[in-house]
């Protein structure tokens, strides 16, 4: 079965901010599948940041991986951009009309995350086994435990949230996600990280937590127990 990792902007940004893109390159060399980014994600992590001096360095480093073929576009696996755009718009409409605050819909996900979900579904139709790499907590909960989404939104917004579309939320069950922290753990176990030893793993995980990845103290401890 063909395999793919679909990268959202959040995970790549976390790795770039923590100087861990070289580890991602090493992981690709041993992965029997494709690392894919959609046009929407490429715009968020390369095209747009290249025009902003504050983010240009990380964008250039990410572009190097794209130019080297570490990241590929969906066309590489036979998925057209127009197909992703169509599915992305459907997903955006469904996700962002599930909940309301004061009779107004709550915006949950953006184009980047939605395009990853769209590609995931299209790859599934082609017989692929694919996982979305995303550090953003809201997207993961929507796909893994949508029943917990309302509580999360109320915690974030400090307001009562109403679920107005039960059917739409059921559409988001079944997605599979991993985070940048879990990729780095795999790289560490495969001896692909530049920094070695348990202290090195601890430092990388905590740095990811403080710079982008939505991971709790308890989850870091659980990962380290696996070592």
Mean pLDDT, the chain, integer: 92
Per-residue pLDDT tens digits for 52-95? 999 999 999 999 999 999 999 999 999 999 999 999 999 999 99
> Range with the lowest mean pLDDT among 116-130, 180-194, 208-222?
208-222
User: Considering only CA atoms, which of 159, 152, 156, 78 is closest in space to residue 119?
Assistant: 78
Domains and CATH numbers, the chain: 3-225 (3.40.50.1010)
Please give the model's pTM, rounded to 2 decimal places.
0.92
pLDDT digits (tens, 9 = 90+) for 14-26: 999 999 999 999 9
Instruction: Band the pLDDT of 167: cuts 50, 70, 90.
Output: confident
**Sign of the C-alpha dihedral computed for residues 39, 40, 46 and 49 taken in this order:** positive
For the chain, percent of residues with pLDDT exceeding 90:
71
- Distances from the Cα of 66 to the Cαs of 69, 126, 180, 203, 219, in angstroms? 5, 24, 18, 27, 31
Give the tens place of pLDDT for each residue, 92-123.
999 999 999 998 999 999 999 999 999 999 99
Q: Is the pLDDT of residue 147 over 90?
A: no
- Token digits for 180? 């940048």
């Amino acid at each position: 079965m063909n395999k793919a990792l679909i990268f959202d902007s959040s995970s790549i940004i976390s790795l770039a901010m923590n100087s861990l893109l070289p580890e991602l390159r090493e992981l690709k060399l041993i992965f029997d599948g494709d690392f894919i980014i959609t046009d929407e994600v490429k715009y968020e992590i390369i095209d747009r940041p290249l025009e902003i001096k504050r983010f240009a360095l990380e964008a250039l480093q990410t572009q190097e991986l794209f130019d080297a073929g570490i990241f590929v576009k969906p066309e590489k696996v036979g998925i057209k951009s127009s197909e992703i755009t169509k599915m992305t718009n459907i997903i955006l409409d469904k996700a962002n009309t599930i909940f309301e605050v004061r009779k107004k819909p709550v915006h949950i996900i953006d184009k980047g995350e939605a395009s990853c979900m769209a590609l995931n579904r299209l790859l599934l139709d082609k017989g692929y086994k694919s996982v979305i790499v995303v550090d953003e907590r809201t997207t993961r909960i929507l796909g893994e435990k949508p029943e917990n989404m309302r509580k999360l939104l109320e915690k974030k917004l400090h307001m009562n949230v109403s679920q107005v579309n039960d059917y739409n939320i059921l559409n988001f069950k079944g997605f599979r996600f991993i985070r940048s922290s879990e990729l780095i753990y795999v790289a560490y176990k495969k001896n692909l990280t530049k920094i070695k030893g348990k202290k090195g793993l601890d430092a990388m995980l905590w740095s990811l937590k403080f710079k982008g990845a939505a991971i709790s103290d308890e989850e870091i401890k659980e990962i380290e127990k696996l070592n």
